[in-house]
Structure 1
């Protein structure tokens, strides 16, 4: 009895200490997760006002000039806003849907130009079976327009999207304007810090972001590895083939 009681008390104390450590670890992980989610929400919310400001300016110009393209511009904006408000709240979306969003944006921007499409967009791979964080590429495309010359020739902006197995490669290249709107601004615009931060939170150790400034062209290449392909999408793809 003399030896059993101390052992029992020690085991009881050890159990309480272990339980406290486990609970503290769980609470810490929950707090860290909530902090990351809050920061991601904040970063995503920064996209909307910046994007809307530029787009509404474009539409205002069309309406002011009473351009026939104004109603079409409003429809494109409605499609973009539908995606941003109702669909981009999900953690991931099909890459194909994100590409539809970018193509709507390109169509809206093309209303500013009278010549052939200034964007050469090429997509390769199974975009339906690849899921990606929403609103990840819009800043990169916005900045390509922003830092290009006012007059763009057909195909001056080159956007490439390629999916191979669980790897996504996204690149955008634009000619550099001789006189930047703001010489003090970081090449690539204010969107790059936002994109870098989101990538570090969403895809730590899964991505590379390469920037090439050749003086006359500016290129951004984003590669993301280990993307999740839902089981039902993979099975459907195998059955299709």
Structure 2
């Protein structure tokens, strides 16, 4: 609230300063250079002119532009402005006559031996007409610029809100997907080894604590994400037989930049889902590297015949959502590829992220 009040205060001061500058340059500077005793009534008249221009400025800004021009009532708007500009002269002339200003000004000039040329009656005050139209032009321009800025900010706010909502929805889909898959694995493990199932539940509780409390800000240090991946891999190892070998190469972290959480897990989860066999040997290789501002992940795993169709399609709610998150969070700063090699069938996933300067500097 303080910030809004402070901005309003600055806006009022800016308007006040602009009007004072305008009044001095166009209304008061020239009379002061005449080197005569200007009657007080003249300053009253100039103040009335200034007041009229101020009224025209804000009526146009707050009333005519929003209710006529912005609603495509252009002809009515133009007619209203022309009527105001034409009526400005007679109104000021009434002020002149009420103050007896022509006679007072003639007397002031005659005191220094100068006779002013007489003004023709009924003649339109071109200067006042142009000044009125000038005020209308400035007022219209300022109002349209402010309207454009407000619309632009509104569009940006809506876009950010849309993206934030979509990211929250995608993340909410990924986490339950992972959670239920893992619970199914632990349930199967309880029939084989109670002790291993207890260790698995302990790791799962630690992982869920990370998901609930460490990822709510939209970013997490890469070190915590790596620890989460290590826990997940260890959890998956509990259900593997001796035919599957898991190799995980962690990055050497000289600094700890923040990244979007849960970006790597769906691809790792996919490797354990489709790269494990109960009858054939297999290797799951996971490599994560951080070099400069580039973060990369490479996953290689066997593709067995009974899973080949699903793996080729690369389906699954977690994978599709992760690719959508990449488009939203790292637009133009990520590269993703997934393909299958020929015999023996091996599926390779590669993801490369380019971290921006803000992410790097915040970690150093």
**Structure 1 length normalisation: TM-score?**
0.89
Could you list the per-position Cα deviations for residues 208-241 of structure 1 after superposition, in whole angstroms to 9, with x for gaps in the alignment?
001121141000100011344453632xxxxxxx
Q: Is 1:144 matched up with 2:277?
A: no
| Cα separation, 2, equivalents of 1:98 and 1:127 | 15
- Give the secondary-structure state (helix, strand or coil) at the position aligned to 2:306: coil
What is the RMSD of the two structures over their aligned residues, measured on CA atoms? Answer: 2.0
Could you list the per-position Cα deviations for residues 76-120 of structure 1 after superposition, in whole angstroms to 9, with x for gaps in the alignment?
110110011111112221111101001100111111124387320
Structure 2: 5+ residue stretches without partners = 1-127
Corresponding residue number in structure 1 for 2:336: 209
More off after superposition, 77-86 vs 54-63: 54-63
- Give the secondary-structure state (helix, strand or coil) at the position aligned to 1:170: strand
User: Which of 149, 159, 164 is matched with 1:32 structurally?
Assistant: 159
Determine which structure has greater relative contact order: mean sequence separation of CA pairs < 8 Å that are 6+ residues apart, divided by chain length: 1
- Tell me: CA distance 1:74–1:209, structure 2 relative to 1, closer, same or farther (3 Å): same
Structure with the higher fraction of residues in strand conformation: 1
| Cα separation, 2, equivalents of 1:34 and 1:61 | 41
Structure with the higher fraction of residues in helix conformation: 2
Could you list the per-position Cα deviations for residues 173-211 of structure 1 after superposition, in whole angstroms to 9, with x for gaps in the alignment?
110011128x36753331332121110000000010011
Alignment of 1:1-241 (within 5 A): 1-65=128-192, 67-115=194-242, 118-126=245-253, 128-151=255-278, 153=281, 156-180=283-307, 183=309, 186-190=312-316, 191-215=318-342, 216-227=345-356, 228-231=358-361, 233-234=363-364
Contact 1:130/1:166 (<8 A) preserved: no
Runs (4+) of structure 1 exceeding 4 A deviation are: none
- Tell me: CA distance 1:115–1:187, structure 2 relative to 1, closer, same or farther (3 Å): same
Could you list the per-position Cα deviations for residues 126-147 of structure 1 after superposition, in whole angstroms to 9, with x for gaps in the alignment?
2642221001111000111111
